[in-house]
Chain A
Amino acid sequence: MKRRTMLAGAAALAVAPIVVPGARAQAGKTKIVFWHAMSGANGDEINRIARDFNAAQSAVELEAVFKGSYPETQVAAIAASRAGQAPHIVQVFEVGTGTMLAAGPAVKQVWQLVQDTDAKIDPKSYLPAVRGYYSLADGRMASMPLNSSTPVMWYNKDAFVTAGLDPEKPPQTWEEFVPAVQALKAKWASKSQDLVASTSAWLTWIQFETYSAIHNLPFATKADGFEGLDAELKVNGPAQVKHLQRLLDMSKEGTFKYTGRDGTPDPVFYTGQAAIGFGSSSGRADIVRNAKFNWAAAVLPYDPEIIKSPNNSIIGGASLWAMTAPKRTPAEYKGVASFLEFIGRPDMDALYHQDTGYVPVTLAGYELSRKQGYYDKNPGADIAIKSLTRGTVTVNSKGLRLGRLPEIRNIMYEEIEKALQGQQGAKQALDNSVARGNVVLRAFEKTAKG
């Protein structure tokens, strides 16, 4: 009997705090649930936005709920949607955009939401490179950009000085890059086993997706997938093969080091072990806090023989999707729309940008930050915006609209890692990536067409 009382006690202990909340919001208010994938300080920032929103108006009460990593949040939302219990808003990473667009009636795209609720959301107020990623081919917005970043090149100014390079003139082209890393290797990295001249995080996003975009080369046919589910990968073009070959050559001569997939190489730069680290602009906060050397950011180098003036870089990050559920009322959709309006306000956008290090997604938010003197106080923080607004947005630099993009990235990692180990050549690696990636695209096409 003792056991039973203990068990009951334990249950009561844990039940006690649950019963009260989770139920209906205060009288008269429409309750809106927002699932997100932001943890740590960025999670607190989402809670801050929720508080500000709830304080700014009285019709809607927004509850922000952490649901794990990006994939975990997305699958939780899908599972809930299939069970008729989707959250009102869910944050989905950029590579999940294709999946969400194929969701049909399970989501309400931003343009539909605007139509239904007369919300004041003007696509033109958003940075073209940001808006493009989350819009349909005809320009209608599908989801609301939130946290966005773009690839930049971080470099260690102290290392540049040691290597006899001008710390104010980072390499602008790959022609300049190669001798620069050779100098860094000879005069700086040779000092210790730990040091490498250069490394890259997010190898697929930065060196292939974005490389293709800034050189106005297609990553896939059908305008990188925007114009049809029957797109095929084109990333094995001569320019991309040449770029991979260059990375392989540099890896062989020790001027470039591959240090893992996705964001795992980030610490290699801010611990001072790499003189140049390609990474996401959102890594700035980590660098500010951890780097014990002088550093700066620069836009990505390019190949002038392919393009004279490079295009904008493409974004990464996540956007917000409005979801549908069987018994959802117009008032709830109105609440969702008012929240999306709220985060698109210039003051809110600028605040979020400055708090987190993500880029401002609206032109007005950028202007406001500039007027507030943010970039004077934080030199280099606007490199990401310069990179996103470089050149004009073309079909090749809008972003990628491919189903199962995470799997395609994964395939590319696998093939490139084999090439880096000397198991195959550059051409072979990208040919294999394209062949295997196309199988994935065809499978997705079949499910999306039904």
Chain B
Amino acid sequence: MERRTIFSGWLLPVVLVLPQLALTVVFFLWPAGQAIWSSMTRTDAFGIRTMFVGLENFSDLFTDPLYLDTIERSVFFCAAVAALSMGVALVLASAADREIRFRGLYRVLLVWPYAIAPAVAAVLWILLLHPQIGLIGRWLNSIGIPWDYKLNDTQAMLVVILASAWKQVSYNFIFFLAGLQSIPRAIIEAARMDGARGFFRFRTVVLPLLMPTVFFLLVVNLVYAAFDTFATIIALTDGGPGKATETLVVKVYRDGVVNLDIGSSSAQSVVLMAGVIVLTALQFRFLGRRSGGG
């Protein structure tokens, strides 16, 4: 993942990177540092009595079997959401990339749902899936399929995965389409001339060229699934039934914003940050090797 060719000089690049770096330091690094500090304290919500407790918050977390379950559940949830939303988006983007009629219309139809605000999306899913008042929920029950995600672990998980993935399909679609369109037609035509067909052509010619997009989207989707889905989950299942749909960030939100357990929720944030660092480092490694030093 390194370029061989570069411009010389270091002043210009430093100036270029400075605005972003400054914003990052002020609005993210500084607060993140405070989060790390709070993770090692026991403090009340108002910060009146603060006591340094070292790693106690962390040891409390990792000796709690319920927290370990939540980690496992979150990994499954993130993988499922990323796979589902990227898979569906790739299929749709490949179809929309073809030179067919109404292509522009299809694209608009597939992209604009991205604009729907999360606040509205959550209400929408309740109106659709709620076992008693939801359109689809009632229909399922009326045809004899017992649908009750309020009291069924598996269905609850399914509901939050579907709702979370749905929200992200348009996003992935936009990037897959942009990625597909940046592949020169000539290459695909050449492959077609060589007799490469359908899925084989896609796998051997298109997919490798699409890898930068796939990589980018994988990171974004995992981060999305891990961090940006809690509003949906809280609105739909509130983490229940039991703990069936409680993910790490649902727990951070609940402990931090609702219970105001600042020490523990900061420790959980730090665990999450560490997770993201490990994950992305691994991916950089892996993809760096795969694409032969790009």
Please give the residue numbers on chain A whose beta carbons come within 8 Å of chain B beta carbons, in ascending order: 71-72, 74-75, 78, 81-82, 99, 102-106, 193-194, 258-262, 264, 267-268, 271, 273, 404, 406-407, 410, 413-415, 417-418, 420-421, 423, 440, 443-444, 446-450
B241 pairs with A104, CB closer than 8 A: no
Q: Say if the beta carbon of B73 comes within 8 Å of chain A.
A: no
* Cα-based distance from A194 to B131 in the complex (angstroms): 9
* Cα distance, A444 to B43, chains bound together (Å): 9
A273: chain B residues at CB < 8 Å are 132
Given A404-B261, A447-B43, 14 more pairs with CB closer than 8 A: A75-B256, A102-B45, A103-B44, A103-B48, A258-B150, A271-B132, A271-B133, A406-B254, A407-B255, A410-B254, A414-B240, A414-B241, A414-B242, A450-B51
Query: Does B204 touch A at the CB level, under 8 Å?
Result: no
Give the one of A81, A102, A417, A444 with max B CB within 10 A.
A417
Closest residue of chain A to B43 (Cβ to Cβ) is: A447
B125: min CB distance to chain A, Å = 13
Q: List B27-47 residues whose CB lies under 8 Å from chain A.
A: 42-47
Contact A105 B132 (CB under 8 A): no
Question: Is B210 part of the binding interface, using a Cβ–Cβ cutoff of 8 Å?
Answer: no
CB pair B46–A71 under 8 Å, yes or no, is no
Cα A418 to Cα B131 in complex, Å, equals 18
27 example contacts (A-B, Cβ-Cβ < 8 A) are as follows A74-B260, A75-B257, A102-B45, A103-B48, A105-B48, A194-B141, A194-B142, A258-B151, A260-B150, A264-B150, A404-B259, A407-B255, A407-B258, A407-B261, A410-B238, A414-B241, A414-B242, A417-B151, A417-B242, A418-B241, A418-B242, A420-B241, A421-B153, A443-B264, A447-B43, A450-B48, A450-B51
Question: Does B192 sit within 8 A of A, measured CB to CB?
Answer: no
- In the bound complex, residues from chain B placing their C-beta under 8 Å from that of A447 are 42-44, 49, 261, 263
Nearest 4 Cβ contacts at the A-B interface: A450-B49, A417-B241, A447-B44, A106-B46
B240 and A268 contacting across the interface, CB-CB below 8 Å:
no
On whether the beta carbons of B42 and A446 are closer than 8 Å, the reply is yes
Chain A residues with CB under 8 A of B141: 193-194
Residue B138 lies at the interface, judged by CB distance under 8 Å to chain A: yes
Tell me how far the C-beta of A65 lies from the nearest C-beta in chain B, rounded to whole angstroms: 18
Interface residues of B in 251-280 (CB under 8 A from A): 254-261, 263-264
> Is A104 a contact of B254 with CB atoms below 8 Å?
no
A contact residues around B46 at 8 Å (CB): 78, 81-82, 102-104, 106
Q: How far is the CA of A193 from the CA of B264 in the complex (A)?
A: 45
Q: How many B residues have CB within 8 A of the partner chain?
A: 35
Chain B residue numbers with a CB within 8 Å of A268 are 132-133
Q: Which residue of B lies closest to A196 (CB)?
A: B132
Contacts of A103 in B (CB 8 A): 44-46, 48
Q: Is B289 an interface residue (CB 8 A)?
A: no
> Which of B142, B239, B260 touches A193 (beta carbons < 8 Å)?
B142
> A413-B240, A414-B240, A423-B242 given as contacts; is B132 within 8 A of A267 (CB)?
yes
Least distance between A420 CB and chain B CB atoms (Å): 6
A430 to B151, CA, bound (A): 18
* Alpha-carbon gap, A320 to B189, bound state (A): 70
Q: Which of A106, A413, A414, A417 contacts B48 (CB 8 A)?
A: A106
**Complex Cα–Cα for A258 and B150 (A):** 8
Q: Which B residues are CB-close (under 8 A) to A415?
A: 242
- Report yes or no: A421 in contact with B151, Cβ–Cβ below 8 A: yes
**Beta-carbon contacts under 8 Å, B212-269 to A:** 238-243, 254-261, 263-264
Q: B291 interface residue, CB < 8 Å from A?
A: no
Interface residues in B50-103 (C-beta closer than 8 Å to A)? 51
Q: Is the CB of B257 within 8 A of A71?
A: yes
Q: Is B152's CB within 8 Å of the partner chain A?
A: yes
Query: Does A259 lie within 8 Å of B131, measured CB to CB?
Result: yes
**B133–A448 CB distance below 8 A:** no
Question: Which has the most chain A C-beta neighbours within 10 Å: B138, B142, B261?
Answer: B261
A109 to B107, CA, bound (A): 59
Inter-chain contacts of A261 with B (CB < 8 A): 238, 240
Contact present for B48 and A420 (CB under 8 Å)? no
Q: Are B142 and A406 in contact (CB under 8 A)?
A: no
Q: Is the CB of A417 within 8 A of B240?
A: yes
Specify the chain A residue showing the minimal Cβ separation from B263.
Answer: A447
Pairwise interchain contact B44-A406, C-beta atoms closer than 8 A: no
Q: Decide if B240 touches A194 in the complex (CB within 8 Å).
A: no
Closest residue of B by beta carbon distance from A407: B259
Contact of B259 among A105, A406, A413 (CB under 8 A): A406
A78, A260, A418: the one contacting B260 at CB < 8 Å is: A78
Who on chain B is nearest to A444 by CB? B261
Contact among A81, A99, A262, A407 with B238 in the assembled complex (CB-CB below 8 Å): A262
Contacts of B242 in A (CB 8 A): 414-415, 417-418, 421, 423
Partner of B133, one of A74, A267, A420: A267
Known contacts being A259-B150, A418-B241, A421-B152, is A71 close to B49, with CB within 8 Å?
no
A440→B254 CA distance, assembly (Å): 13
Q: Quick one: given A72-B257, A407-B254, are A78 and B48 in contact (CB under 8 Å)?
A: no
Of residues B138, B151, B260, which shows the largest number of chain A Cβ atoms within 10 Å of its Cβ? B260
